[in-house]
């Protein structure tokens, strides 16, 4: 049986990203202009916004939500789930507007973001994070192969890559010749959101990155 979910009056730019969770639900995210009508949900846009929609295994629309953005370079690069939470990652310019908080663009071409939608599908001030941790500089972000890591705050003894469950998936010991800079080859990682954890004798600092 074919069932089509109607997305009415929507201008989707550069397509979107689709993900199927273990419960069979489909999650679709992308950027859009104008107003989108998804089942019973109406999502107006501020300029070039991000939408996320959930559809169950029978093709029924479960929910739709949005992140507003005031810039013209908004992109969704990753979507995944864990439990009842939905994670959307990408990059933006201007301001990223959640229901109760705002992220401001810092500089460069674009800034990266990770948004966590809980159940019910809302985004709070502690649930949007931006890769602007001055203690740990990681670039390029997002990346599909090499990730450069730099910290002037600590002398890194080792660097761990954690998944969103907090599990270590990779660890690198840092050469004593250069304890403030290193490079990781992350090409083997499955696309998604990860955490870099840099450790010295007394301190741990973290930053998030996106593997394409």
**45-98 tens-digit pLDDT:** 777 888 888 888 777 777 788 888 887 777 887 888 777 678 888 888 788 877
Rounded to whole angstroms, how far apart are CA atoms 206 and 163?
12
pLDDT value of position 101: 66
Q: Is 2 inside any structural domain?
A: no
Total domain count, the chain:
2
Of 73, 76, 127, which is closest to residue 95 (Cα–Cα)? 73
pLDDT value of position 171: 93
Peptide bond into 80 cis (omega under 30): no
26 and 119 part of one domain:
yes
Cβ(137)–Cβ(113) below 8 Å: no
23 and 91 part of one domain:
yes
38 and 68 part of one domain:
yes
pLDDT value of position 127: 39
**Domain of residue 160, residue span:** 137-211
51 and 123 part of one domain:
yes
Q: Is 125 inside any structural domain?
A: yes
40 and 115 part of one domain:
yes
Q: Is 121 inside any structural domain?
A: yes
Q: Is 83 inside any structural domain?
A: yes
pLDDT value of position 107: 63
Where residue 125 falls among pLDDT bands split at 50, 70, 90? very low
Burial class (CB in 10 A: 0-12, 13-18, 19+), 14: exposed
End of a domain among 102, 129, 156?
A: 129
86 and 180 part of one domain:
no
pLDDT top residue among 128 and 37: 37
What are the tens digits of pLDDT across the range 138-158? 888 888 899 999 887 778 888
133-165 in b/e burial notation, b at 16+ Cβ within 10 A?
beebbbeebbbeeebebebeebebeebbbbbbe
pTM (whole model) above 0.85: no
12 and 111 part of one domain:
yes
pLDDT value of position 118: 65
Three-class SS of the chain: CCCCCCEECCEEEEEEEEEECCCCCEEEEEEEECEEEECCEEEECCCCEEEEEEECCCCCEEEEEEEEECCCCCEEEEEEEECCEEEEEEEECCEEECCCCEEECCCCCCEEEEEEECCCCCCCCCCEEECCCCCCEEECCCECCEEEEECCCCCCCEEEEECCCCCEEEEEECCCCCCCEEEEECCCCCCEEEEEEEECCCCEEEEEEEEC
End of a domain among 107, 129, 151?
A: 129
pLDDT value of position 3: 44
């Amino acid at each position: 049986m074919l069932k089509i979910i109607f997305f009415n009056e929507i201008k989707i730019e550069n397509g979107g990203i689709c993900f199927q969770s273990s419960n069979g639900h489909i999650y679709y995210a992308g950027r859009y202009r104008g107003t989108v009508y998804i089942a019973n949900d109406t999502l107006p846009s501020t300029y070039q916004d991000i939408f996320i929609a959930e559809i169950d295994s029978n093709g029924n629309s479960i929910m739709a939500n949005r992140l507003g953005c005031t810039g013209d370079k908004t992109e969704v690069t990753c979507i995944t789930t864990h439990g009842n939470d939905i994670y959307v990652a990408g990059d933006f310019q201007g301001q990223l507007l959640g229901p109760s908080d705002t992220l401001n663009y810092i500089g460069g071409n674009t800034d990266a973001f990770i948004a966590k939608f809980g159940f019910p599908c809302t985004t709070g001030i502690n649930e949007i994070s931006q890769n602007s941790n001055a203690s740990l500089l990681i670039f390029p972000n997002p990346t599909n192969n090499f990730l450069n890591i730099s910290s002037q705050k600590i002398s890194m003894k080792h660097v761990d890559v954690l998944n969103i469950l907090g599990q270590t998936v990779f660890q690198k010991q840092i050469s004593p010749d250069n304890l403030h800079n290193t490079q990781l080859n992350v090409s083997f990682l499955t696309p998604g959101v990860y955490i870099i954890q840099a450790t010295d004798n007394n301190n741990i600092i973290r930053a998030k990155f996106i593997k394409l």
